[in-house]
Amino acid sequence: MNTQIIGGFFTILFFLVVLSYYILILIPRRKTDTGIIPGSLSIIIPAHNEGPFLQECITSVLGADFTGTKEVLVVDDGSSDNTYTIAHSFKKQGVRTIRTRHSGKSASMNLALAHARGELIAIIDGDSIIHQDALSEMAKAFRNPVVVGACGVVKVKNRKTPLGVWLHLELLYNSLIRSLSAKVNANITTPGPLSMYRKKELDALGGFSTEGFSEDQDIAIRLIRAGHHIDFVDTAVAETNMPLTPKEFLRQRTRYARGAVNILRRHLKLSKNLIDIYTMPLFFFSYLQSIIMSSITLCQVTSGYYIYFFAKGMYLNRYVIKFFFDWFSILGFVQWVVGIFRGTVPL
């Protein structure tokens, strides 16, 4: 009985969340203001042991279009590889390199922020690249004087493996949700691979928080609560390299989880602000749901394998492989979704 109640509760919540997305789809996007685009831009590239990716990152930034003055600052956050050497090799192209002891991403960005001269500040992670028109397209959002932050579409660059494809779909989904939330100024994430801000407003808030992880969410929340707007630009695109080995992937997800807990602990509260009424509760629900669903999935997979195979002396055969494939592959996920709509699989 308790299981049915819990299942019904999450089913209703799931329905309400999906319904809210459809409502957001129907809301028209705010028209772009015809004001003046700020004429100077500082691109900050925080980098810690990004040797394999940094050269391509800087090259993409230097080749990106922007009408006005553009400067590039790379912060080597105490790297132990050739990050500094690569960054310094772009000195003749005007790239300024700042070297510091390892102090974390936020502290590195704040250090660069203090040296930046642009009216706009763009953040590009050292393991990412941007499309040629990404900066010029994103800068257009700042023709609206109420917009102080913006983000764009993030894709996975190394998406040739099944995990890479899955992560690519996850990032595209996240970009869609940010696009919808930005319509009502409720987007609480300006992701590291590509984001842009007005320097004046960043300075007014004291820069990026060094308290915990998820500085990209923290800064968006603080800007919105200060009365500003965060926009989404679907024509500005970045591609990032994601960890694909089990160890690196687990480390990333652990960092994400710690960051989520930190954000919820510091920012979850009730107020009249839409992010507190809608976005933060939804963020909390998503985090809680991921823990519950992961636990349920692990129990179902373990018990299913034991009952149908292990207890019968079948440890590994084609049926066992198909069982795990249906659980963990993209095809299996699609079959599960189709089963829900057909009514053959319980939600």
Domain ranges across the chain? 40-278, 309-347
Q: Does the pLDDT value for residue 345 go beyond 60?
A: no
Q: Does the pLDDT value for residue 1 go beyond 60?
A: no
Q: Residues 162-193: pLDDT tens digits?
A: 889 889 988 998 899 899 889 989 898 999 99
Q: What is the pLDDT of residue 314?
A: 83
Tell me the mean pLDDT in the region 138-145.
Answer: 95
Lowest average pLDDT, out of 44-48, 90-94, 319-323, goes to 319-323
306 burial level (CB within 10 Å; 0-12, 13-18, 19+): exposed
- pLDDT band, very low/low/confident/very high, at 308 (cuts 50, 70, 90): confident
Lowest average pLDDT, out of 90-99, 208-217, 235-244, goes to 208-217
Measured distance CA(190)–CA(196) in Å, rounded: 8
273 burial level (CB within 10 Å; 0-12, 13-18, 19+): middle
Tell me the mean pLDDT in the region 98-118.
Answer: 96
Q: Does the pLDDT value for residue 299 go beyond 60?
A: yes
**Which CB contacts under 8 angstroms, 24+ apart, belong to 220-223?**
220/149, 220/187, 220/188, 220/189, 220/190, 221/188, 221/263, 221/267, 221/275, 221/280, 223/148, 223/149, 223/197
Q: What is the pLDDT of residue 29?
A: 77
- Better-scored residue on pLDDT, 186 or 201: 201
Listing DSSP states for 303-323 in one string gives HHHHHHTGGGT--SSHHHHHH
β partners of residue 120: 41, 198
Q: Does the pLDDT value for residue 22 go beyond 70?
A: yes
- pLDDT band, very low/low/confident/very high, at 286 (cuts 50, 70, 90): low
Query: Cβ distance 283 to 260 under 8 Å?
Result: yes
Tell me the mean pLDDT in the region 115-141.
Answer: 97
Largest Cα–Cα separation, the chain = 72
Q: What is the pLDDT of residue 237?
A: 98
For the chain, give the number of residues. Answer: 347
Q: Residues 39-76: pLDDT tens digits?
A: 999 999 999 999 999 999 999 999 999 999 999 999 99
Crossing angle of the two packed helices 330-342 and 318-328, in degrees rounded to 10: 70
Q: What is the pLDDT of residue 140?
A: 95
Q: Does the pLDDT value for residue 229 go beyond 90?
A: yes
Measured distance CA(158)–CA(167) in Å, rounded: 10
- pLDDT band, very low/low/confident/very high, at 3 (cuts 50, 70, 90): low
Mean pLDDT of the chain: 87
Query: Cβ distance 158 to 166 under 8 Å?
Result: no
Q: Give the phi and the psi of residue 170 in degrees, each rounded to 5.
A: -60, -45
Q: What is the pLDDT of residue 141?
A: 95
Please tell me what DSSP assigns to residue 276: I
Share of the chain above pLDDT 90, in %: 53
C-alpha dihedral (282, 157, 210, 180), degrees to nearest 10: -30
Crossing angle of the two packed helices 162-182 and 2-26, in degrees rounded to 10: 60
- Better-scored residue on pLDDT, 188 or 128: 128
Tokens of 201: 């407003």
* Tokens 């997979």 found at: 301
Please tell me what DSSP assigns to residue 37: P
- pLDDT band, very low/low/confident/very high, at 138 (cuts 50, 70, 90): very high
Measured distance CA(286)–CA(290) in Å, rounded: 6
Q: What is the pLDDT of residue 16?
A: 76
Measured distance CA(169)–CA(166) in Å, rounded: 5
CATH architecture of the domain with range 40-278: Alpha-Beta Complex (3.90)
- pLDDT band, very low/low/confident/very high, at 106 (cuts 50, 70, 90): very high
Q: Does the pLDDT value for residue 206 go beyond 70?
A: yes
